[in-house]
Amino acid sequence: MDSRRTKMVGELIRRNSLAALLFWRPDELVMMLGYFPLWGVSVLLYPADGEPVLFVPALEPEDILPKGITVKKYPWGALDGNDPWEVLYSVAKEELFRRGLADGVVSFTRSIGGSAPCRMSAEQPPLPADLVLRLERVCAGGWKDTGAELSQLYDEKTPTDIVALEKTHKIAALAVEVFYREVGRGHTEAMLGALIESAVQETNGRGDVGFAKAWPMLQSGLNAADAGRFNRSTGKLIVPGDLVVLEMGVCVDGYWADITRTAVVGQATHSQQHMYEAVAGAQEAAFRLLRPGAAMREVDNAARSFIADAGFGSCFPHALGHQTGFRYHDPGDVLSPYSTGILREGMVVTVEPGVYSKELGSGLRIEDNVLITPGGYRILSAYPRDLKGGNQVYGK
Amino acid sequence: MDSRRTKMVGELIRRNSLAALLFWRPDELVMMLGYFPLWGVSVLLYPADGEPVLFVPALEPEDILPKGITVKKYPWGALDGNDPWEVLYSVAKEELFRRGLADGVVSFTRSIGGSAPCRMSAEQPPLPADLVLRLERVCAGGWKDTGAELSQLYDEKTPTDIVALEKTHKIAALAVEVFYREVGRGHTEAMLGALIESAVQETNGRGDVGFAKAWPMLQSGLNAADAGRFNRSTGKLIVPGDLVVLEMGVCVDGYWADITRTAVVGQATHSQQHMYEAVAGAQEAAFRLLRPGAAMREVDNAARSFIADAGFGSCFPHALGHQTGFRYHDPGDVLSPYSTGILREGMVVTVEPGVYSKELGSGLRIEDNVLITPGGYRILSAYPRDLKGGNQVYGK
């Protein structure tokens, strides 16, 4: 296990006098172990004392199991007529009793849904609500809500995480390259999305990538005026004169990037250039404030004011950014006018100003993922970000 | 709304003396309304009397909203500092009181996770556990568990559903075509998966397809011996002599197909041909029993016995099939030795016998999706299913 992560979890356990923490969501297992489950439900039992143990479905492939931790298999998916949830409950309970933890207090995330899917499919298994209630009652001390602190674990990306996120962003760069290359070639929005997604998938066949998937969404012309409300691709043909917004989540081995680029087909009009300068300038204004200790609302305000000063004050209806990395959208404080959060070293935040206008008939957003460093920040998605996909890189 | 579905839900409400049902999972909304949410959380309030109402995020695109039902928007995703869950709770509560339903009993699915994701991303929003508990207490009559009956709603695909499922299976056919065409061209497993997935995505740019995504997983040679335990693609090169198993979920506008094909690269050996005949024969033996009223365990037994008689008795470690359509894996009874379920008209089940052997160094599965009709069955995935992708179609 990552030593920095181990330290953080140990502190959480001590602060709350817990006997054990349980982790079961795929994004939690990526965060704790760099392990992105293939299917079913894996559960990490992390005790106050002694070694943690990971329960995995007996059918999980051996080579994706994390190293340096005790792994115990339980018969999820076996053809024996047993309910795997009952088996999981029993083995977790037995482990708590065996370790003398049953008099203490346990904690785990009990929110419903909210989890990244396993890599194998688009579904999650239906963890029964009753199982949660029963797990809460296993220990004499009951269950303690440490939700806010568990969420804070997501806030810090360790050096191990950053290496993994760099790989994700390297693959996302291929998608951006395809976007700029193909945007002017007469595709529909949906077809351009398919080409971009293909480029990401094709890395599955190369090098050390075990799983790579992208969720690109394209909006062009008037459709882009909605890009501040929602993102999706339609059958609309992309034509000269269009601004085209690419919004995209990319998952590589459980680690996520969240990228937006906007391109113009043909030459930008004066109005389009003005929108671009407002958004690019807003992003740069936000970048300049990124450092440990900065107030998130101040960063949002820097971008929001820049956009307002450029005359687009009513055209930026969403928050400036959120945390990302273990999921498409990590939990935790966001960059918004209502945020009370403070930037800390190791955070990865999106910086995604945009302007959208039915009157102007279009929309434009630029989104990058930025790591907060001791001295300021580092852009993980340092790809071209202008309207033509040129080579300049802002903010470095 | 689909009149057949309306009738089923009405009966469920009357049997349980409910004031209202709430539906919030994307797969439930597909089943009830043919509506596959783009993002956030939409909630269908279905009262015992009066018109149902659908609450959707204010930012949801108008053109994907279902017709013929009252739609109310609530400010999910608005930049106003409010918690959207609180807003959702309030509007749902207000509606129950306004309609005089607050003295009655409500029911809804409260299992954790287990939902298909929204089409926009790989995530689901983190529905708070507390919200569920609070919703359960809104009405004086409390919450009633109708889980088994709600699950039965998935059992019957209506004529409307079948039209949608036919579209999904038409697109899945393209994926199967690419599989047979490309399997012998020297790709890695992962690259072949990427090519197959691309073929499905590219339909996004054509016709009346709003959303199409595939999750293909390829296992070749010795890797295929694991295909009865798990499915995934690796960087292994597919070489002459390999059996290659394609396992695939395909989602088109919220409706799913679940398909497996096995191909051989080059000429099948005697041993491979023997495995194929055991599996294909087992599938045909199962097909022959498919009709309303048939016991699911008998269908499983027909396939299982055929495989045992062919000498592979220890090589078929999973159930013969499950229901599918609103999800990759629908809830409800399965075709297994432990099943107590009975086939009914309108069910869609997978029939997926397989044999897997480390000793033989390979594995082989064929999986089709079959609609139970008044007179027997109809195969929705009536594509070639032999080792070379030939033209014969079994079971029609």
- The distance of B286 to chain A (nearest Cα, Å) reads 18
Nearest CA to A170 among A206, A217, A133, A220? A206
- Taking CB atoms within 8 Å and a gap of at least 24, the contacts of B13-18 are B13/B46, B13/B48, B14/B48, B15/B149, B16/B105, B16/B107, B16/B144, B16/B146, B16/B149, B17/B104, B17/B105, B18/B48, B18/B104, B18/B105, B18/B106, B18/B107, B18/B144, B18/B146
| pLDDT score at B394 | 34
Spatial distance between the Cα atoms of A232 and A250, rounded to a whole number of angstroms: 15
Number of residues that this document lists for chain B:
396
Q: Checking DSSP bridges between strand B43-47 and strand B20-23, what pairing results, if any?
A: antiparallel
Contact A215 B115 (CB under 8 A): no
DSSP structure string for B308-358: HHTT-TTS--S-SB-B-SSSSS-SS--BSTT---B--TT-EEEE--EEEET
Which range, of A88-102, A362-376, B132-146, B178-192, averages the lowest pLDDT? B132-146
- Taking the Cβ of residue B237 and every Cβ of chain A, the question of whether any pair is shorter than 8 Å is answered with no
Q: Which amino acid belongs to residue A235?
A: G
Contact A331 B115 (CB under 8 A): no
% pLDDT > 90, chain A: 59
Query: Which residue do the tokens 């695909």 mark?
Result: B157
Domains in chain B, please, with CATH?
3-153 (3.40.350.10), 159-379 (3.90.230.10)
List the structure tokens of A160. Answer: 């191990």
Record the pTM: 0.88
Q: Checking DSSP bridges between strand A348-351 and strand B53-57, what pairing results, if any?
A: unpaired
For chain B, list the strands marked E by DSSP: 20-23, 43-47, 53-57, 70-74, 106-108, 112-113, 126-127, 212-220, 243-252, 255-264, 348-351, 354-357, 362-365, 368-373, 376-379
Q: Checking DSSP bridges between strand A255-264 and strand A243-252, what pairing results, if any?
A: antiparallel
| pLDDT score at A284 | 98
Contact B328 A123 (CB under 8 A): yes
Mean pLDDT of A55-75: 91
Name the residue among B39, B204, B213 with its Cβ closest to that of A230.
Answer: B39
ipTM for the complex shown: 0.84
Spatial distance between the Cα atoms of A307 and A275, rounded to a whole number of angstroms: 9
Nearest CA to A350 among A363, A333, A374, A362? A333
Residue numbers in A near B331 (CB within 8 A): 126
Contact A120 B232 (CB under 8 A): yes
Name the residue among A125, A235, A317 with its Cβ closest to that of B114.
Answer: A125
Contact B190 A198 (CB under 8 A): no
pLDDT tens digits for A191-223? 999 899 888 988 887 778 888 888 899 999 999
| pLDDT score at A38 | 85
Spatial distance between the Cα atoms of A362 and A356, rounded to a whole number of angstroms: 6
| pLDDT score at B143 | 76
pLDDT category of residue A1 using cuts at 50, 70 and 90: confident
- Taking the Cβ of residue A342 and every Cβ of chain B, the question of whether any pair is shorter than 8 Å is answered with no
Contact B114 A120 (CB under 8 A): no
Across the A/B interface, how many CB contacts are shorter than 8 Å? Answer: 204
The residue in chain A having the minimum alpha-carbon distance to the alpha carbon of residue B319 is A79
Contact A204 B191 (CB under 8 A): yes
> How many Å separate Cα A316 from the centre of its chain?
22
pLDDT category of residue A294 using cuts at 50, 70 and 90: very high
| pLDDT score at A140 | 74
Nearest CA to B261 among B168, B361, B384, B358? B384
Contact B230 A116 (CB under 8 A): no
pLDDT tens digits for A238-251? 999 999 999 999 99
Contact A232 B61 (CB under 8 A): yes
The residue in chain A having the minimum alpha-carbon distance to the alpha carbon of residue B197 is A198
| pLDDT score at B118 | 55
Selected residues 357-396 of chain B with any CB under 8 Å from a CB in chain A: none
Best A123, A136, A323, A358 residue to mutate vs chain B (most B CBs within 10 Å): A123
For residues B182 and B229, is the Cβ–Cβ distance under 8 A?
Answer: no
CA B168, B66, B381 angle in degrees (round to 5)? 10
Selected residues 246-265 of chain B with any CB under 8 Å from a CB in chain A: 249, 251
List the structure tokens of A49. Answer: 């004392």
Q: Checking DSSP bridges between strand A70-74 and strand A53-57, what pairing results, if any?
A: parallel
Q: Find the radius of gyration of the CA atoms of chain B.
A: 23
Selected residues 290-319 of chain B with any CB under 8 Å from a CB in chain A: 317-319
Name the residue among A121, A127, A251 with its Cβ closest to that of B114.
Answer: A127
Number of residues that this document lists for chain A:
396
Weakly modelled stretches of chain B, pLDDT under 50: 112, 392-396
- The distance of A1 to chain B (nearest Cα, Å) reads 25
> Exposed/middle/buried for B62, CB within 10 Å: 0-12, 13-18, 19+?
exposed
- Taking the Cβ of residue B186 and every Cβ of chain A, the question of whether any pair is shorter than 8 Å is answered with no
- Taking the Cβ of residue B163 and every Cβ of chain A, the question of whether any pair is shorter than 8 Å is answered with no
pLDDT category of residue A121 using cuts at 50, 70 and 90: low
